[in-house]
């Protein structure tokens, strides 16, 4: 293969393959080089026509851009934010593309964004094996956390931030002083900072972050967990729990905060039609809440792909692969059926947010600009990232030289020409006269683990060149 191209996926439902291919084609409209007057240089990912570059775009886009075979780089958009770090460590959530200056709203006076840089960087490292980058960015991330601590951390060890900083502006949690999602994102970030320090063999920093993580985890479990409801809640300024069930209650899974017993209770609510088990996974507010709105109404019931992505990644932390896959597939069918109501998936658009109970984009009375069409920051997480990782089921780590294939049962599917640094790999399963067979092709040795859930799990070294294996013989 000479021409650089995106990896191809194979799946029994051709619509999934088509929307995956289309998304890559649409992404080229998202590369902004700024104008001649623009202060922000180089190429970066931003919504076409937007005057600002957003932290949320830089972070979430990195999760699918890592699969572009380096046609689109995932890191320059993040670097735009790092380059603007202030002497006190502050990084603001949005910058004007022309002037490079922070864009701050009244309801979020410090311009605080979702503190998830370390999660994005850890994922980048596993898809690029670029250790030098980890070394360069860790000091930036350390100063960023120090800034957040100095401005927002309270004597009780939790972060008191405006609701706007959670990225869920009209979520029905007006009295929340200590939002569960923001506090848990800080735990996610610190957990991954510890992992980044481990990559550099910096035992001291890794230990300090772990200590910080455990102290935050303890406080979230003691103050925000409601043992009777079996759910995590925001707390108000008097540390009283506000019993409104929102999607924010699922960030703790990603941060590995609940023990198995607590995790079981909140995961059960994902499948319960009284709570988050809507036909389209997952609404931003539980169906049991009086504020739940079937039209979506912003963050009062809409399904946002980046939050569904977060829940699915949280399910993985608790080895709930089956449920993660089933929800990813259901979500993708809604995304496809919402493109065009008459069943023609070849026209139509992807959306920023969807209806919880039927196909179609969500609504927000009085906000005609919502949801944004083709808002790929969120939508491509579903059509690219969840498709490769949860529907086809491939998990790749370059530094470990591993590919894990986790599937509930064998189907005709796989990936072709996925670049692992300077190594192109192909993994496809199909049924031949001899039974189920996996065909592989690679330029370098790597370790392949096939995990057919509940049936067999096996790790094999895969040599360079072409080979195939019969599943029955494993």
The residue extents of the domains of the chain are 114-392, 413-473
Query: What angle in degrees, to the nearest 10, is found between the helix axes of 131-152 and 117-128?
Result: 170
Are the C-beta atoms of residues 196 and 203 closer than 8 Å to each other?
no
pLDDT above 50: residue 1: no
Please give the Cα distance from 339 to 347 (Å, whole number): 7
Find where tokens 């303890």 sit.
218
Mean per-residue pLDDT of the chain: 93
Residue 345, strand partner residues: none
Pair of tokens at residue 181: 């999602």
Which of 74-88, 323-337, 356-370, 431-445 is predicted least confidently? 431-445
pLDDT above 90: residue 384: yes
Pair of tokens at residue 385: 């990232």
Handedness of CA 364, 111, 116, 265 (dihedral sign): negative
Are the C-beta atoms of residues 391 and 11 closer than 8 Å to each other?
yes
Task: Give the mean model confidence (pLDDT) for residues 83-106.
Answer: 96
Residue 70, strand partner residues: none
Burial label for 290, CB within 10 Å (0-12, 13-18, 19+), is exposed
Q: What are phi and psi of 451, to 5 degrees?
A: -125, 95
pTM equals 0.95
pLDDT at 346: 58
- Pairing relation of β-strands 8-10 and 413-420? antiparallel
436 falls in which pLDDT band (50, 70, 90)? confident
Q: What are phi and psi of 143, to 5 degrees?
A: -70, -35
Task: Give the mean model confidence (pLDDT) for residues 374-397.
Answer: 95
pLDDT above 50: residue 201: yes
Handedness of CA 122, 123, 126, 127 (dihedral sign): negative
Please give the Cα distance from 439 to 464 (Å, whole number): 13
Q: What is the DSSP string of 330-396?
A: HHHHHHHHTT-TTS-TTS---BS-B-SSSSSB-B-TT-TT-SPBT-HHHHHIIIIIIIIIIIS-EEE
* Residue-wise pLDDT tens digits, 342-355: 555 556 899 999 99
DSSP code of residue 175: T
Handedness of CA 141, 142, 144, 148 (dihedral sign): positive
CATH, range 114-392: 1.50.10.10
What number of other Cβ atoms are within 10 A of residue 438's Cβ? 20
Are the C-beta atoms of residues 43 and 76 closer than 8 Å to each other?
yes
Convert 127-163 to b/e letters by CB count within 10 Å (16 or more is b): bbbbeebbeebbebbbbbbebbeeebbeeeebbbbbb
* Residue-wise pLDDT tens digits, 175-198: 999 999 999 999 999 999 999 999
Residue 251 parent element (H or E): helix 251-254
* Residue-wise pLDDT tens digits, 13-48: 999 999 999 999 999 999 987 667 778 888 899 999
Are the C-beta atoms of residues 312 and 324 closer than 8 Å to each other?
yes
* Residue-wise pLDDT tens digits, 274-305: 999 999 999 999 999 999 999 999 999 999 99
Please give the Cα distance from 431 to 19 (Å, whole number): 25
Burial label for 26, CB within 10 Å (0-12, 13-18, 19+), is middle
Pair of tokens at residue 428: 């496809």
Distances (CA, A) of 12 to 22, 451, 452, 468: 17, 19, 18, 20
Find where tokens 């609510």 sit.
269
To the nearest 10°, the Cα dihedral for 87, 93, 96, 101? -20
Pair of tokens at residue 156: 């009780």
Task: Give the mean model confidence (pLDDT) for residues 409-424.
Answer: 85
The CA-based angle 101-105-108, given to 5 degrees, is: 110
97 falls in which pLDDT band (50, 70, 90)? very high
* Residue-wise pLDDT tens digits, 231-272: 999 999 999 999 999 999 999 999 999 999 999 999 999 999
394 falls in which pLDDT band (50, 70, 90)? very high
**CA-based nearest residue to 310, from 74, 37, 116:** 116
What number of other Cβ atoms are within 10 A of residue 8's Cβ? 15
Residue 94 vs residue 437, higher pLDDT: 94
* Residue-wise pLDDT tens digits, 42-91: 889 999 999 999 999 999 999 999 999 989 999 999 999 999 999 999 99
What number of other Cβ atoms are within 10 A of residue 384's Cβ? 25
């Amino acid at each position: 293969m000479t021409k650089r191209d995106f990896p191809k996926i194979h799946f029994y439902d051709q619509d999934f393959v088509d929307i995956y291919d289309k998304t890559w084609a649409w992404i080229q409209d998202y590369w902004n080089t700024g104008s001649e007057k623009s202060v922000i240089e180089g190429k970066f990912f931003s919504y076409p026509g937007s005057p600002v570059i957003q932290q949320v775009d830089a972070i979430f886009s990195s999760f699918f851009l890592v699969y572009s075979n380096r046609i689109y780089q995932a890191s320059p958009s993040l670097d735009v934010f790092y380059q603007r770090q202030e002497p006190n460590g502050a990084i603001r959530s949005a910058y004007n593309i022309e002037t490079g200056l922070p864009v701050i709203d009244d309801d979020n006076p410090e311009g605080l964004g979702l503190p998830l840089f370390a999660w994005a960087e850890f994922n980048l490292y596993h898809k690029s094996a670029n250790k030098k980058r980890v070394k360069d960015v860790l000091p930036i991330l350390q100063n960023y956390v120090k800034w957040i601590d100095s401005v927002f951390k309270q004597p009780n060890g939790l972060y008191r931030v405006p609701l706007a900083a959670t990225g869920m502006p009209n979520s029905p949690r007006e009295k929340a002083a200590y939002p569960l999602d923001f506090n848990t994102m800080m735990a996610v970030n610190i957990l991954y900072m510890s992992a980044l320090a481990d990559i550099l063999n910096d035992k001291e920093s890794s230990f300090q972050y772990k200590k910080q993580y455990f102290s935050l985890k303890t406080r979230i479990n003691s103050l925000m967990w409601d043992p009777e409801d079996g759910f995590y809640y925001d707390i108000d300024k008097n540390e009283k729990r506000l019993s409104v069930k929102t999607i924010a209650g699922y960030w703790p899974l990603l941060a590995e905060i609940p023990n198995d017993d607590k995790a079981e209770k909140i995961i059960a609510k994902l499948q319960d039609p009284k709570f988050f088990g809507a036909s389209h996974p997952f609404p931003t507010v539980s169906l049991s809440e009086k504020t739940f709105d079937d039209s979506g109404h912003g963050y009062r019931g809409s399904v946002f792909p980046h939050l569904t992505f977060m829940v699915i990644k949280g399910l993985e932390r608790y080895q709930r692969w089956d449920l993660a896959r089933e929800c990813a597939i259901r979500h993708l069918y809604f995304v496809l059926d919402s493109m065009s109501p008459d069943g023609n998936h070849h026209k139509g658009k992807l959306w920023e947010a969807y209806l919880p109970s039927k196909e179609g984009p969500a609504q927000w009375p009085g906000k005609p600009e919502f949801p944004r069409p083709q808002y790929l920051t969120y939508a491509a997480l579903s059509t690219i990232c969840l498709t490769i990782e949860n529907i086809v089921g491939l998990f790749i780590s370059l530094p470990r030289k591993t590919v894990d294939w986790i599937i509930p049962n064998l189907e005709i599917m796989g990936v072709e020409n996925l670049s692992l640094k300077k190594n192109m790999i192909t993994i496809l399963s199909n049924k031949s006269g001899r039974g189920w067979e996996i065909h592989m092709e690679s330029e370098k040795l790597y370790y392949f683990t096939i995990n057919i859930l509940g049936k067999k799990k096996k790790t094999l070294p895969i040599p360079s060149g072409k080979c195939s294996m019969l599943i029955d013989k494993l």
